[in-house]
């Protein structure tokens, strides 16, 4: 298996292990509630939690920076740091998306 494929499998395993409980809960929510506004409302918190888990697993330092710097409006400096942290997270996620989507 090429090195890139090994990295892809490793990342998939890490994400699956870290977020497995949330994924199962979201699947169960979708199984129990028919498609539509009720499901969207009932499963929204699980969908968000799973997304947060995946992002934190894939880009841990960038995710933590956003969490710590973007929690309140703060000073102009903090807002600027928040914007930089969000950009770094976006770049990290984009690089993984491009690297692993084959």
What token pair was written down for 52? 């947060």
Query: In this predicted structure, what is the pLDDT of residue 48?
Result: 96
What tens-digit pLDDT sequence spans the chain (102 residues)? 455 666 666 666 777 788 999 999 999 999 999 999 999 999 999 999 999 999 999 999 999 999 999 987 778 899 999 999 999 999 999 988 876 665
Query: In this predicted structure, what is the pLDDT of residue 9?
Result: 66
Whole-number Å distance between alpha carbons of 78 and 69: 7
Whole-number Å distance between alpha carbons of 79 and 85: 10
Task: Enter the pTM of the model.
Answer: 0.77
Query: In this predicted structure, what is the pLDDT of residue 1?
Result: 44
Query: In this predicted structure, what is the pLDDT of residue 31?
Result: 95
CA 49 to chain centre: 8
């Amino acid at each position: 298996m090429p090195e890139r494929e090994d990295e892809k499998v490793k990342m998939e395993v890490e994400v699956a292990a870290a977020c497995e409980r949330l994924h199962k809960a979201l699947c169960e929510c979708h199984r129990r509630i028919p498609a539509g506004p009720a499901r969207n409302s009932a499963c929204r918190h699980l969908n968000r939690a799973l997304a947060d888990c995946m992002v934190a697993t894939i880009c841990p330092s960038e995710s933590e920076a956003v969490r710590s710097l973007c929690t309140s409006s703060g000073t102009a400096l903090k807002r600027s740091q928040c914007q930089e942290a969000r950009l770094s997270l976006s770049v990290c996620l984009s690089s993984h998306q491009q690297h692993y989507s084959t």
